[in-house]
Amino acid sequence: MTKIKICGIKTIPDALAAIDAGADYLGFNFYAKGMRFIEKQTCAEITAVLKREYPHIKLVGVFVNSSVEEVKDILDTCSLDLAQLHGDETAEMFKQLGGIAFKAFRGIPENINGFERKNAPTFLIDASVKGVYGGSGVTADWNGAAELAKTYPLLLAGGLTPENVAEAVSRVKPWGVDVASGVESTVGEKDAGKMVKFVKKVREVEK
């Protein structure tokens, strides 16, 4: 079954609506210049509730060029399960974080040496948009992603919406899909109806 990650969660109501819709993973963005940035303390308050009420939901911190120390501190403070490295992080940094991190690539990577993760997702494929670290609303290279998905359990991001996700899943056959802007009413505010529709479209492909 295709995993579904809803990213850029900023409030408890949005987190609960995402879980009700059928999300498996929730993402919290710690990139200070990002449109969906969340403060560490705010996130910790949300995740405390989620860990207690919904322990089966995986919680992911999204980082852009943060230090290893900062990533570890936020993961610990906010009780997060995984770190998504969405900047220009090195393989050395990836290694220091051990199995709790996975790398996001903007565009199709020429090689992923040093960034292979043993567990799923091995990595994430996003659209390549100059100067933008994710959340751009631009679709990724589905053909390139489909080739990689034959070998690796990858998470597909980049411009996914309730309207195009069924085609994306059919063509790429990813391990999971990741959505932020495609299920929002305004930037940073999730739309419960869009999230329900998004999940429904993914599940319809699998029937």
Query: Residue 136 in contact with residue 127, Cβ under 8 Å?
Result: yes
Residue 155: how many other CB atoms lie within 10 Å? 28
Q: What is the pLDDT of residue 136?
A: 61
Per residue in 22-76, pLDDT (tens digit) is 999 999 999 999 999 999 999 999 999 999 999 999 999 999 999 999 999 999 9
> 92: domain range?
3-205
Per residue in 76-102, pLDDT (tens digit) is 999 999 999 999 999 999 999 989 999
Per residue in 99-156, pLDDT (tens digit) is 999 999 999 998 898 999 999 999 999 987 666 566 567 788 999 999 999 999 999 9
pTM above 0.75, yes or no: yes
- Domain of 96, CATH number, reads 3.20.20.70
Number of domains forming the structure of the chain: 1
Q: What is the mean pLDDT of residues 166-185?
A: 97
